[in-house]
Chain A
Amino acid sequence: MIQKILIANRGEIALRIVRACREMGIKTLAIYSEADVQSLHVQLADEAICVGGPKSVDSYLRADRIISAAEIADVDAIHPGYGFLSENAKFAEQCESCNIKFIGPKSKSIKLMGDKSVARETVRKAHVATVPGSDGPVEAEAEAVKIARSIGYPVIIKAVAGGGGRGMRIAHNDVSFAKEFHVARNEAEKAFGDGRVYLEKYIERPRHIEFQILADSHGKVIHLGERDCSVQRRHQKLIEEAPSPFLTPDLRKKMGKAAVRAAEAAEYENAGTIEFLVDPKGNFYFIEMNTRIQVEHPVTEEVTGIDLVKQQIHIANGEKLEFDQSDITFEKHAIECRINAEDPARNFAPSPGTVGLYYPPGGHGVRIDSHIYSGYTIPPYYDSMIGKLICFGSTRKEALERAYRALSEYLIRGIKTTIPLHKAIMADPLFIEGKATTAYMEEFLTRTTPELFS
């Protein structure tokens, strides 16, 4: 029975986990860096242990110190959140060998799905369509060009050890392919310590639609519907919504079944997400599996009524999932805007600093997942996301109007944020029509003057 959890993360997700634990009567231990002494979750947790200096490599990535903290504080489980060590198979293995429950899948599932090329192979065997591409990593340029030609340009060159939108280059013809192939390998080697790459057909103007998975340790795997995350800038998600304005009930059923098959192929346990690209004709292709809780999980929580973080803890406890696939219904429409400390009027320049007046919106259908508060100083060492605004309504129209209203009320003084950008998108006719693909954001920014964001 899990009675104490160490939260190996920071910011809004650490706060999210503290809240779930408090509601379940579970004690919390926050580990933190010297830059996060004033962080909200550190103040709210039952115990807190400093594990290092401000930089992530000196603190949140120090698995040895985190496990040491887990041992001296006698915790039963570690929740890794997202990012940091959450998809580090070695860390999950260390927890397993130290008899500390890792709240997530088994280390072997992380390893399997962490190699993006092996992941493709694995789900293909389960009859899940993948983007046409190479059979595994490609070594030599000559071989790679041949494969690229047979796939058909444009092609995308992806790092085997990449994921989350990182380590990708696009080539439109033989000439650019030669250059991009080498650049991709060098970048991959530098960023991930593994220069292997594989090829996929580059699907133009796709929608990014992902399915939330929950799997218990007794063999039950279900999906909780999709999230449409097509609004992205440089492969980083800005807005996510559920359900997708593009999917028909039939396509949803097909994709949901495929997502479950993919998770079963990975012998998955706990919460995870299967990501697909969907072309304008409705053909869907597996691109990767995220073996962790995701940033945008609240969207699914609002639409299904299920608390995903609590479910993660129940599953880690060895409990059976209380519901079946047929119990999952999608009642509302929900939309999430990621609020970043960036200035959209100046090419998204980072804006760390001290928050002055902070007034978050409220009212029916408004949820804020944020760790910031008046007087809080945003440290410059970590990513710039300072909170998430999730709005829901009985229809998509209501959810969007609510989001627009909430964004108008949201006051964060002292730093620049992307709130004005989100407001502009909520009012944009193309977005309102539900027509956004992954090409949307770039196109929106070209036709919108930066002054609109100040």
Chain B
Amino acid sequence: MKRSELTEFAVEEEGFKLKIRRGANGLPIVSTARGSNPPFVPAESNSTPPMPVPAPLQSTTSGAPPTTEEPGITYVKSPMVGTFYRSPSPESKPFVDLGSKIEDNSLVCIIEAMKIMNEIQAEAKGTIVEILVENGQPVEYGQRLFKLRQG
């Protein structure tokens, strides 16, 4: 898959908004509106209405079989489906590396989805102790990307 040349670019569909522009240092800046209004027709004809949620369900980690949570360890997880890249462009250095200290709004990687390069924020705090996916690897929603040690 090729990287695209991005300038000012805006895409808006139901529930999925993207604005991309080149920043001062030539890097594309992408902001996505996630978790906004439901995208498409919610109607499910020919079926009974959804059942009420009885109690908070234990959320399972997606994809990989559920593993026991280690104390003091957290993960950066993929918020979308696409291809994972370590750096903003093939020639640049990776956003982060082993030992990098991460904050919630740290940019950690790119996930390319449908020809759009999305900059991904960590939404987690800690020091990277393991990088769990390879450059150019397809990733799914919820997939663990980076292992962080907290504190």
Residues of chain B within 8 A of A56, CB atoms compared: 42, 44, 50
A62 at interface, CB cutoff 8 A: yes
Are the CB atoms of A381 and B53 closer together than 8 Å? Answer: yes
Q: Give A73 to B140 CA distance when docked, in angstroms.
A: 11
Partner of B43, one of A67, A72, A166: A166
Residues 52 to 109 of chain A near chain B (Cβ within 8 Å):
52-54, 56-57, 59, 61-69, 71-73, 82-85, 87-88, 90-91, 98
B51 at interface, CB cutoff 8 A: yes
Q: Give A82 to B40 CA distance when docked, in angstroms.
A: 15
Are the CB atoms of B47 and A90 closer together than 8 Å? Answer: no
Q: Which of B75-83, B94-102, B126-134 contacts A (4 or more CB under 8 A)?
A: B75-83
Are the CB atoms of B52 and A68 closer together than 8 Å? Answer: no
Are the CB atoms of B45 and A63 closer together than 8 Å? Answer: no
B51 → A minimal CB distance (Å): 3
On whether A85 and B41 interact (CB within 8 A), knowing A69-B140, A380-B54, the answer reads yes
Residues of chain B within 8 A of A384, CB atoms compared: 48, 51
Residues 31 to 54 of chain A near chain B (Cβ within 8 Å):
34-35, 37, 48-54
Are the CB atoms of B50 and A34 closer together than 8 Å? Answer: no
Residues of chain A within 8 A of B54, CB atoms compared: 352, 380
Partner of B114, one of A49, A68, A73, A163: A68
On whether A61 and B42 interact (CB within 8 A), knowing A72-B138, A380-B54, A384-B51, the answer reads yes
Are the CB atoms of B41 and A236 closer together than 8 Å? Answer: no
Q: Give A379 to B53 CA distance when docked, in angstroms.
A: 9
Are the CB atoms of A49 and B43 closer together than 8 Å? Answer: no
Give the size of the chain A interface in residues (CB under 8 angstroms).
58
B35 → A minimal CB distance (Å): 8
Residues 378-394 of chain A: 1 if any B CB is under 8 Å from the residue's CB, otherwise 0? 01111111000000000
Partner of A51, one of B42, B57, B141: B141
Q: Which residue of A lies closest to B79 (CB)?
A: A52
A164 at interface, CB cutoff 8 A: yes
Question: What are the 10 A-B residue pairs with the smallest beta carbon separation, nearest first?
Answer: A164-B45, A350-B51, A50-B62, A383-B47, A83-B44, A72-B138, A57-B38, A68-B81, A68-B113, A50-B140
B117 → A minimal CB distance (Å): 13
Residues of chain B within 8 A of A379, CB atoms compared: 57
Interface of B is mostly: loop
Partner of B40, one of A91, A165, A237: A91
Are the CB atoms of A83 and B40 closer together than 8 Å? Answer: no
Are the CB atoms of A352 and B51 closer together than 8 Å? Answer: yes
Are the CB atoms of A49 and B81 closer together than 8 Å? Answer: yes
A202 → B minimal CB distance (Å): 20
Are the CB atoms of A65 and B43 closer together than 8 Å? Answer: no
Q: Give A24 to B128 CA distance when docked, in angstroms.
A: 46
Q: Give A72 to B46 CA distance when docked, in angstroms.
A: 31
Return 18 A-B CB contacts under 8 Å, by A number. A34-B141, A35-B57, A37-B60, A50-B81, A51-B81, A52-B141, A54-B57, A56-B42, A56-B50, A64-B39, A65-B81, A66-B81, A69-B81, A98-B114, A192-B43, A236-B46, A380-B54, A385-B48
On whether A236 and B48 interact (CB within 8 A), knowing A87-B41, A380-B53, the answer reads yes
Known: A98-B114, A341-B51. 7 other contacts (CB 8 A): A34-B62, A49-B81, A50-B140, A64-B114, A192-B43, A236-B47, A385-B48
On whether A350 and B52 interact (CB within 8 A), knowing A34-B60, A64-B13, the answer reads yes
Q: Give A85 to B142 CA distance when docked, in angstroms.
A: 22
On whether A383 and B50 interact (CB within 8 A), knowing A61-B38, A68-B114, the answer reads yes
Partner of B47, one of A53, A295, A352: A295
A122 at interface, CB cutoff 8 A: no
Are the CB atoms of A383 and B80 closer together than 8 Å? Answer: no
Residues of chain A within 8 A of B15, CB atoms compared: 62, 64
Q: Which residue of B lies closest to A58 (CB)?
A: B35
Are the CB atoms of B51 and A90 closer together than 8 Å? Answer: no
A65 → B minimal CB distance (Å): 5
Residues 105 to 145 of chain B near chain A (Cβ within 8 Å):
113-114, 138, 140-143
Partner of B63, one of A50, A61, A90, A385: A50
Residues of chain A within 8 A of B26, CB atoms compared: none
Partner of A90, one of B40, B44, B50: B40
Residues of chain A within 8 A of B43, CB atoms compared: 83, 162-164, 166, 191-192
Residues of chain A within 8 A of B82, CB atoms compared: 68, 72
Residues of chain B within 8 A of A342, CB atoms compared: 48
Residues 190 to 215 of chain A near chain B (Cβ within 8 Å):
191-192
Q: Which residue of A lies closest to B138 (CB)?
A: A72
A294 at interface, CB cutoff 8 A: yes
Are the CB atoms of B83 and A72 closer together than 8 Å? Answer: yes
Q: Give A49 to B142 CA distance when docked, in angstroms.
A: 10
Q: Give A84 to B39 CA distance when docked, in angstroms.
A: 11
Q: Give A82 to B41 CA distance when docked, in angstroms.
A: 13
Are the CB atoms of A385 and B39 closer together than 8 Å? Answer: no
Residues of chain A within 8 A of B38, CB atoms compared: 57, 61
B16 at interface, CB cutoff 8 A: yes
B4 at interface, CB cutoff 8 A: no
Q: Pick from B13, B15, B40, B80 the residue with the most CB of A within 10 Å.
A: B40
Q: Give A237 to B45 CA distance when docked, in angstroms.
A: 11
